[in-house]
Copies of this chain bind each other. A is one copy, B any other.
Amino acid sequence: MDKRQLGFDRINLGHGSGGIMTRELLDEIIFKTFDNPYLGQKHDGSIVEIEGKMAISTDSFVVSPIFFKGGNIGELAVNGTVNDVAMCGAIPKFLSLAFIVEEGLKADEFVEIVNSVKAATDRCGVKVITGDTKVVERGKGDKIFINTTGFGEVHPKAKISAERIEIGDKIIVSGNIAQHGMAIMSQREGLEFQSSIESDTTNLNFLIENLLNNFGHKIKLFRDPTRGGLASTLSEIASDTDSGIVIHENKLPLEKQVAAACEILGLDPLYVANEGVFVAIVKEDIASQVVELLSKDVKGSNAICVGEITDNHKGKVVMQSAIGGKRIVTPLIGEHLPRIC
């Protein structure tokens, strides 16, 4: 979609009316960008076929600012939901796409976001099959919110379930943590670092598929530690399964620059959101092979085994510090970083 072809500068309330202007917005931007037979039905819904079991996940994206280093809200909305579907042990196939636009959003920005959505879906191998656009008055929204709901086919070899976690299982983190959150926060706070931090937003579905192809049932759980960071995700797993989790501070993959930014802003990287990292809990005997396989992919090049499931500290996460101390890692309390995704 070329920005210059549009007959309007800004999105206004008429674009959410359900009448001619809505139709123009759809015809000029949405249908042209996402040209596929599903959307071509131009109905209020779409018909698809899924084989076997289906994984579904929904997420609304309210990140602020909507454009940030390393991405924008459109790309994030695709990657975020595609990753959530993948974490179920599934191969993402389709996406619904719903915009809530604040009156006055620049048409250029809308087009740029829609184009990013399209590019991201192409990278993920998913299709946008149905959508919705609402417009709210100025001051009743914040530029644009996006909801995506994703669905995919459960991988035939997958047996993802927190209940299968056992003592001795290893905890693998696929990449450097805290990048997305620190990219957003640095930008909000107007901090300038020597070389700036970029969001790690990316799609993890092919990495997940590759792991399932190779290790099948030996993978017990996938999770992506977004809002609330690694600490909240691991705490939830420990609490839900009544397992003890030990992680080793010196193993946590963290870029120096990100660590420095966290220190300046007084944030613990364990609680900072990630958008291109996942946690895998796997049977002990495949842990090193999993890390090796991940390391071959640029998105998993910093993969590392950070800890294990233990027979003590039931329901809790304990971090062993580099100098031998131990501390309980609690889930995030309070607000921390609002509107990070």
User: Which single member of B19, B49, B338 contacts A135 (CB below 8 Å)?
Assistant: B338
Counting CB contacts under 8 A, is A156 at the interface? Answer: no
Counting CB contacts under 8 A, is A323 at the interface? Answer: no
User: Which single member of B17, B57, B62, B271 contacts A44 (CB below 8 Å)?
Assistant: B57
Q: Which of A66-112 contact B (CB under 8 A)?
A: 84-85, 87-88, 90, 94, 96-100
User: Which single member of B54, B60, B94, B129 contacts A147 (CB below 8 Å)?
Assistant: B60
Counting CB contacts under 8 A, is A322 at the interface? Answer: no
Q: CB-CB < 8 A to A17: which residues of B?
A: 227-228, 332, 334-338
Counting CB contacts under 8 A, is A21 at the interface? Answer: yes
User: Which single member of B18, B60, B131, B150 contacts A228 (CB below 8 Å)?
Assistant: B18
* A46/B57 in contact, CB under 8 A: yes
Q: CB-CB < 8 A to A46: which residues of B?
A: 55-57, 88
With known contacts A13-B338, A145-B145, A333–B19 Cβ distance under 8 A: yes
Shortest Cβ-Cβ A-B pairs, 7 listed: A19-B332, A18-B227, A18-B228, A45-B57, A58-B96, A149-B149, A147-B147
Q: Which residue numbers of A lie inside 8 Å of B, CB to CB?
A: 12-14, 16-23, 42-50, 52-62, 64, 84-85, 87-88, 90, 94, 96-100, 129-132, 134-137, 139-142, 145, 147, 149-151, 154, 162, 223-224, 226-229, 232, 236, 240, 271, 273, 330-339
User: Which single member of B61, B130, B332, B338 contacts A57 (CB below 8 Å)?
Assistant: B130
With known contacts A17-B336, A53-B48, A58–B22 Cβ distance under 8 A: no
* B57/A151 in contact, CB under 8 A: no
Whole-angstrom distance between the alpha carbons of A99 and B147 in the complex? 10
* A42/B240 in contact, CB under 8 A: yes
* B62/A56 in contact, CB under 8 A: no
Total copies of the chain: 2
Q: CB-CB < 8 A to A135: which residues of B?
A: 338
* B18/A273 in contact, CB under 8 A: yes
Tell me how far the C-beta of A91 lies from the nearest C-beta in chain B, rounded to whole angstroms: 13
With contacts A19-B333, A47-B88, A56-B94 known, what are 8 further pairs, Cβ within 8 A?
A16-B338, A17-B227, A22-B227, A23-B236, A58-B97, A62-B100, A136-B145, A139-B139
* B56/A130 in contact, CB under 8 A: yes
Whole-angstrom distance between the alpha carbons of A58 and B48 in the complex? 14
Question: Which B residue sits closest to A225, measured CB to CB?
Answer: B18
Question: Which B residue sits closest to A239, measured CB to CB?
Answer: B23
Among A20, A45, A88: residue with most chain B CB under 10 A: A45
Q: CB-CB < 8 A to A52: which residues of B?
A: 49
* A228/B145 in contact, CB under 8 A: no
User: Which single member of B14, B58, B88 contacts A149 (CB below 8 Å)?
Assistant: B58
User: Which single member of B84, B98, B141, B226 contacts A142 (CB below 8 Å)?
Assistant: B141
* B54/A50 in contact, CB under 8 A: yes
Whole-angstrom distance between the alpha carbons of A54 and B20 in the complex? 29
With known contacts A54-B50, A141-B140, A43–B88 Cβ distance under 8 A: yes
With known contacts A100-B100, A141-B140, A141-B142, A333–B20 Cβ distance under 8 A: yes
User: Which single member of B60, B136, B333, B334 contacts A339 (CB below 8 Å)?
Assistant: B136
User: Which single member of B99, B147, B162, B332 contacts A18 (CB below 8 Å)?
Assistant: B332
